[in-house]
Amino acid sequence: MASDTSEAASSTPDLKLQFAPFSSALEAGFWHQLTQKKLNDYRLDESPKSIKGYYYNGDPLGLPTRLTLEFSAFEVDGPTPARCCLATGTLYNTNTLDAFKTTDKKALLEKEAKEIWDAIQSGAALKDPSILCKFILLTFADLKKYHFYYWFCFPALCFPEGIKIIQQPSSLEQVFSAKQITALQEAYAVLCVKRGTTAEPYFLMKYTADTVHMASLEDWDTFITDTKTVTVGVYDPCTLSQHPGWPLRNLLVLLASRWGSTLDTVEVLCFRDQTLQGSRSIQHSVIFQIKLPVIPLNSACPKSVGWEKNPKGAMGPRMVNLSECMDPKRLAESSVDLNLKLMRWRLVPSLDLDKVVSTKCLLLGAGTLGCNVARTLMGWGVRRITFVDNAKISYSNPVRQPLYEFEDCLGGGKAKATAAVDRLTKIFPGVIAEGYNMSIPMPGHPVDFSEATLSQAQKDVELLEKLISEHDVIFLLMDTRESRWLPTVIAASKRKLVVNSALGFDTFVVMRHGLKKPPVSQSVSAGADSSTSCSSASSSSTTPAGSAPSVPASSLFSNIPGHKLGCYFCNDVVAPGDSTRDRTLDQQCTVSRPGLAMIAGALAVELMVSILQHSEGGYAVASSSDDRMNEPPTSLGLVPHQIRGFLSRFDNVLPASMAFDKCTACSPIQLHIVV
Amino acid sequence: MASDTSEAASSTPDLKLQFAPFSSALEAGFWHQLTQKKLNDYRLDESPKSIKGYYYNGDPLGLPTRLTLEFSAFEVDGPTPARCCLATGTLYNTNTLDAFKTTDKKALLEKEAKEIWDAIQSGAALKDPSILCKFILLTFADLKKYHFYYWFCFPALCFPEGIKIIQQPSSLEQVFSAKQITALQEAYAVLCVKRGTTAEPYFLMKYTADTVHMASLEDWDTFITDTKTVTVGVYDPCTLSQHPGWPLRNLLVLLASRWGSTLDTVEVLCFRDQTLQGSRSIQHSVIFQIKLPVIPLNSACPKSVGWEKNPKGAMGPRMVNLSECMDPKRLAESSVDLNLKLMRWRLVPSLDLDKVVSTKCLLLGAGTLGCNVARTLMGWGVRRITFVDNAKISYSNPVRQPLYEFEDCLGGGKAKATAAVDRLTKIFPGVIAEGYNMSIPMPGHPVDFSEATLSQAQKDVELLEKLISEHDVIFLLMDTRESRWLPTVIAASKRKLVVNSALGFDTFVVMRHGLKKPPVSQSVSAGADSSTSCSSASSSSTTPAGSAPSVPASSLFSNIPGHKLGCYFCNDVVAPGDSTRDRTLDQQCTVSRPGLAMIAGALAVELMVSILQHSEGGYAVASSSDDRMNEPPTSLGLVPHQIRGFLSRFDNVLPASMAFDKCTACSPIQLHIVV
């Protein structure tokens, strides 16, 4: 068993006292909590942090003397586990491995040792003896790999010449009678109650053949009447029969410094509550006598030791790789949040990630656009993603629709909506994805009037309404104009934020639909509804949804508030018809440059996030191209109405247009008919 | 067995002649070839196309009378298979299912029938009797699903009253002696040789007990001397003992129209070369006699029939679904090309797809950018993609790096370079992808000087040089500045097109490096090299690579030719150092808005494609933002030097800058030292 060889170097081992050093025991929960602290609180802050650990004296024989840090280490004021002693510590978490390596360990130790010394000199250590059992933890957390580098230090002030043993350690049962042992046990319990702790680290003791009395260190002057032989007790985590554990060291320095000149022999009781041969008792405690050297009060701080050796026995840091032993799914979850949280550390401190992550997104269309939108949502940490699509995966899809693979095309092709869900789960098991293999009812595509078909169409409409109700943001990502109509109408009536994207060959549009304000008469119920809507509804405008704008629609205006913005159909003079009928092949599928859908899909999500970060959400005034020079309305930038992109010119413009009061999809007349 | 009921309706079956109709036999090879024709030649052209089929008379009993179309159907002038008769046809391939359904089938049939009638009237059918055996094929090819809709028509002119049988059909062996049969067989062989065919569809015949003579239809006037009983022969694909096949029909109309008034009895030999009871012989041919009605010459075209019934026996089209029986991997290959070819049909007829598809791309970095670049390349049909990366997949990667999944992170994570290859193959088995799990040597990251490490670094440099030599376009997609240095130097020295992309938090750059011209003294060897380079090297500028620009670098200029453009390092005054050393976590990983890499990755590939489509390739003059109003230099648009994007403003600018003559990466001095 390792012992403190620095003490042993200049003396005969059997005459000088040796201490069993602490082994640091850092549980996975500690590292998990450190990860959270680093991501959410510390971020780039490298200043020292107070943490705590504890030690226990009930271990069976053979276990090393451990100082344990678990998830609770960061709650310094939190409770200490039963029958454990608190150890207070200082965490130095560096931002880089390099800083970790180059930190001046000697200086850290000396600083901490000086504090202990000062507390001994001032008497503060008498009032709070846990100061005598401090530690330093130097860490670097590589949160990308879940590699944690660390180095522990348990500062101990030294006696340059060591401590002479007068009477070798014996088991308590060899020295004390059963009656004395019982009395000792009771006295300790009384002391703990008196001190309000479950385990008192140090105590003073007097005993006779029948009685045992205990007092805390601060009661020295009244309690110790005979200084010829003073008995002190230490709550000892060590299990070795011939050695005390580390906590005794600084206590002995305290005694030597404060009362050394008056002391002749010091008797030490290593109070242990071990389990031996199946029975638990303090009879296995160890008792011995020493002769303490004198350390003059107000002398310089003694030399100190304490950096822990690594498992190879050398002075050096340790590394724990938790990527393998942590639950992979939980690992994935926290890893996914990492990049997002990193954004806030330095770049966008005001970013409200929860607002993004908790947004429930409904993707109508799981094709080229739908796949790219879903992937970008995953990148933003969005957990609730629902797909609606009635198509099957064909052989041409996987190279352009990044949720599908060749195998999904076999046997006629899997349904896109459900295959997309499977893929999201494979990418990130923490996602909550759903898929509905259904078609979106379209005007101009008459159903045949058989009862079964009519009933199915009705069911489809009802399900679509339900889905739109249950989500916060509705993405329109279909490949036909008219399939966007019904969702536009329903989402407008339910005041849901709609983000719409459509592709040409090398052009695209990404737009938000105007977000209608609740009618004044319904403001109470609408208020209740707003918790599920994407807008924080703090706009002061009171224009009811029904008020027709007095200016012509479809023109470019600046400063259009969100509730007056147009929808996809506002610029149209014709109602949506059947655009798939009689389309040639290059019209049937969206023939577009392959990069276009990735760009439009990414922008659709980025637009959504920018809107969510705006204090007025979907009611935010639309930014236009002209606003590019001005102060942006959110920390993420502009919140345009439309982004129209031209790949051939690598250019985007940001038009904004007013809602058309006779729009076939979003006008109050239309909504009145439909709702 | 189906027979022509339209003829039988008004007469007693056993007295009127009935014909076995053709069954269309369209082989998978035909549909495959139609797919190719549609994609590459016809595109949206719906005009009628000449195709061909053939029929055979050697089938065993029981097989339907088939008209076969196979992959050769589109080579009208190609050879006809041995012992087969040619049938010429007209293909009407519609662009939509709707056009297919609404095509006026009656009009098509009447048009074709009229042509046959006109050929009979003019005598053209005598010279080329294959005119009598024509067909129409109406198709719609749904190339996304590999569903082929079709309807066949074998136009037959009708005798309104039917044809009266005078002598019931008999097997030839019952009517002819063995000697006659042998003579008949020889006479047919002689006729075929004389006509230069392997199978003559129609012939005239005279015979005695010992001899058989044959002549072609056009020799009627000299060959037929006695018109009381005229014997005509037809190469008969039918196997029924009591019925002739369809080809006889229009022959009888020809006879009735041209010579009907002079004919009394017509004897018909259905020449068959069938296999019966294991032996092959013409003795199973059928012979019978009929009385032909007269059709006056120059009368109106008789009524016609011929649209094929579907398998249910109703008049209607057929559909064949080849998605399941075609080899899925080949299906995937042709499907992937579909969207690309669709672009050319209407939108970009000048698009040189082969140039894109055959480009060999080296992706240095298989992270966020690398994955998105690879996906966009796949969308463009690029088949050769090679990854270089030395990282392993970590838990935070899959949501942002679209080639990886959760499972790839387990057990410490797979190597990105090889996992990316696996994923590409899963997406599209036709891709030829390779992955190199290696690090790119970097300046400022000193290797330790052990022999093993030095030797590995040397090997890495050599492999990198080899890879750059073997590819056409080098993508720099790493997450550090300095790792881009060595590839920049090597690619510049080898005159390879470099596309470079780098991300900030919400900004990105996508740029092409200037493409050096070969030094004048090396122009011969450089010429040989240019076949593997991405530039067509047609620029007339003779500025050697070494000429230092007399204007300051890093400014904005218009009209900078490709060989004078700067590289990533041209704007820098310092040499690349170790930027990873002592970086904090948010600097170590590229913290960026999740949509950014998708946009930058897509633009990097689209920029490459635009450059490849420019006649001067990498030497093309750089387009700038100002050029957005001008006529674009390629059908795909601008070929900028740099695209710098600002997600917060949804804006891109297109700066261009000159090469710096003391650049640490691409200057002639640097290249001289390195190469």
Nearest CA in chain A to B351: A593
- Residues in chain A with CB shorter than 8 Å from the CB of B588 are 144
The whole-angstrom distance between A626's CA and the closest CA on chain B is 10
What is the spatial distance between Cα A117 and Cα B356, in angstroms, rounded to a whole number? 75
Return the structure tokens found at B267. 């004897």
What is the spatial distance between Cα B331 and Cα A660, in angstroms, rounded to a whole number? 47
Asked whether residue B617 carries a pLDDT value surpassing 90, the answer given is yes
CA dihedral B5, B8, B10, B12 (to 10 degrees): -140
**Which whole number is the average pLDDT over A487-512?**
94
Q: What is the pLDDT of residue B586?
A: 42
A395 contacts B336? CB cut-off 8 A: yes
Q: What is the pLDDT of residue A574?
A: 46
Asked whether residue B641 carries a pLDDT value surpassing 70, the answer given is yes
Q: What is the pLDDT of residue B265?
A: 92
Q: What is the pLDDT of residue A91?
A: 97
pTM score: 0.71
A324 contacts B399? CB cut-off 8 A: no
Of B391, B26, B16, the C-alpha closest to B169 is B16
Q: What is the pLDDT of residue B122?
A: 93
A636 contacts B598? CB cut-off 8 A: no
Task: List all residues 6 or more positions away from B532 whose beta carbon is below 8 Å from its beta carbon.
Answer: B472
The mean of the pLDDT values for chain B is 85
- Residues in chain B with CB shorter than 8 Å from the CB of A407 are 426
Q: What is the pLDDT of residue B222?
A: 93
- Residues in chain B with CB shorter than 8 Å from the CB of A405 are 426-427
Q: What is the pLDDT of residue A448?
A: 60
Asked whether residue B421 carries a pLDDT value surpassing 90, the answer given is yes
A405 contacts B426? CB cut-off 8 A: yes
The whole-angstrom distance between A155's CA and the closest CA on chain B is 28
Distances (CA, A) of B469 to A174, B68, B520: 83, 50, 21
- Residues in chain B with CB shorter than 8 Å from the CB of A585 are 44, 95, 143-144, 342, 345
pLDDT, tens only, A353-388: 899 999 999 999 999 999 999 999 999 999 999 999
Contact B180, B300 (CB under 8 A): no
Nearest CA in chain A to B626: A649
- Residues in chain B with CB shorter than 8 Å from the CB of A139 are none
Interface test with B, best of A445, A585, A626 (most B CBs within 10 A): A585
Does residue A206 come out as left (phi exceeding 0), alpha (psi in the -120 to 50 range) or beta?
A: beta
B410 contacts A399? CB cut-off 8 A: no
State the number of CA atoms in the 13 A half-sphere of A236 facing the CB: 29
Q: What is the pLDDT of residue A510?
A: 96
Q: What is the pLDDT of residue B18?
A: 93
Asked whether residue B46 carries a pLDDT value surpassing 80, the answer given is yes
Q: What is the pLDDT of residue B204?
A: 96
Interface test with B, best of A650, A652, A653 (most B CBs within 10 A): A650
**Nearest-CB residue to B99 (from A336, A398, A582):** A582
Which tops the pLDDT comparison, B386 or A260? B386
**Nearest-CB residue to A632 (from B345, B376, B648):** B648
Residue with tokens 């239809």: B217
**Which whole number is the average pLDDT over A334-341?**
76
The whole-angstrom distance between A605's CA and the closest CA on chain B is 7
B582 contacts A605? CB cut-off 8 A: no
**Nearest-CB residue to B395 (from A335, A345, A402):** A335
**Which whole number is the average pLDDT over A202-225?**
93
- Residues in chain B with CB shorter than 8 Å from the CB of A401 are none
Nearest CA in chain A to B323: A412
**Which whole number is the average pLDDT over A538-546?**
39
| Amino acid of residue A442 | M
Q: What is the pLDDT of residue B454?
A: 78
Q: Kindly list the structural domains of chain A, giving each domain's residue range(s) and its CATH number in brackets, ordered by start.
A: 5-161+305-327 (3.40.140.70), 177-299 (3.40.140.100), 332-674 (3.40.50.720)
A406 contacts B328? CB cut-off 8 A: yes
Indicate the range of A132-136, B19-23, B503-507 predicted with least confidence.
Answer: B503-507
Q: What is the pLDDT of residue B541?
A: 40
Does residue B582 come out as left (phi exceeding 0), alpha (psi in the -120 to 50 range) or beta?
A: left
Asked whether residue B101 carries a pLDDT value surpassing 90, the answer given is yes
> End-to-end alpha-carbon separation of chain A, Å?
80
Give the active site residue among A270, A567, A589, A663.
A589
Quick one: pLDDT band at residue A279, thresholds 50, 70, 90?
low
Residues of B noted as catalytic: 589
Task: List all residues 6 or more positions away from A7 whose beta carbon is below 8 Å from its beta carbon.
Answer: A16, A17, A18, A19, A158, A159, A162, A163
The whole-angstrom distance between B553's CA and the closest CA on chain A is 24
Quick one: pLDDT band at residue A575, thresholds 50, 70, 90?
very low
Which tops the pLDDT comparison, B519 or A392? A392
The mean of the pLDDT values for chain A is 85
**Nearest-CB residue to A406 (from B332, B380, B394):** B332
Quick one: pLDDT band at residue A79, thresholds 50, 70, 90?
confident
Nearest CA in chain A to B347: A505
How many DSSP H helices and E strands does chain B contain? 19, 24
A605 contacts B594? CB cut-off 8 A: yes
The whole-angstrom distance between B670's CA and the closest CA on chain A is 32
Indicate the range of A112-116, A221-225, B320-324 predicted with least confidence.
Answer: B320-324
Asked whether residue A535 carries a pLDDT value surpassing 60, the answer given is no
Asked whether residue A588 carries a pLDDT value surpassing 60, the answer given is no
- Residues in chain A with CB shorter than 8 Å from the CB of B632 are 648-649
Which tops the pLDDT comparison, A71 or B53? B53
- Residues in chain A with CB shorter than 8 Å from the CB of B638 are 648-650
Asked whether residue A578 carries a pLDDT value surpassing 70, the answer given is no
pLDDT, tens only, B567-606: 998 875 444 544 544 444 444 456 789 999 999 999 999 9
Interface test with B, best of A357, A421, A598 (most B CBs within 10 A): A598
Q: What is the pLDDT of residue B587?
A: 45
**Which whole number is the average pLDDT over B75-85?**
85
The whole-angstrom distance between B377's CA and the closest CA on chain A is 8
- Residues in chain A with CB shorter than 8 Å from the CB of B591 are 339, 342-343, 347
**Nearest-CB residue to A394 (from B144, B394, B583):** B144
Give the full edge-to-edge strand order of the sheet including B265-271: B164-171, B286-291, B265-271, B229-235, B202-207, B212-215
> Chains A and B: how many Cβ contacts under 8 Å?
266
The whole-angstrom distance between B28's CA and the closest CA on chain A is 18
**Which whole number is the average pLDDT over B418-425?**
97
Quick one: pLDDT band at residue B635, thresholds 50, 70, 90?
confident
Q: What is the pLDDT of residue B453?
A: 75
Indicate the range of A9-13, A173-177, A329-333 predicted with least confidence.
Answer: A9-13
**Nearest-CB residue to B648 (from A406, A594, A638):** A638
**Which whole number is the average pLDDT over A475-494?**
91
**Nearest-CB residue to B339 (from A343, A428, A589):** A589
Quick one: pLDDT band at residue A62, thresholds 50, 70, 90?
confident
A599 contacts B599? CB cut-off 8 A: yes
Sign of CA dihedral B438, B439, B441, B446: negative
**Nearest-CB residue to A428 (from B339, B406, B589):** B406
The whole-angstrom distance between B363's CA and the closest CA on chain A is 17
Interface test with A, best of B39, B587, B593 (most A CBs within 10 A): B593
Q: pLDDT > 70: what percent of chain A? A: 85
Distant-in-sequence contacts of B416-420, Cβ < 8 A, 24+ apart: B416/B366, B416/B367, B416/B370, B416/B387, B416/B389, B416/B391, B416/B392, B417/B366, B417/B387, B417/B388, B417/B389, B417/B390, B419/B393, B420/B366, B420/B370, B420/B371, B420/B374, B420/B387, B420/B389
A412 contacts B324? CB cut-off 8 A: yes
Question: The complex's ipTM?
Answer: 0.71
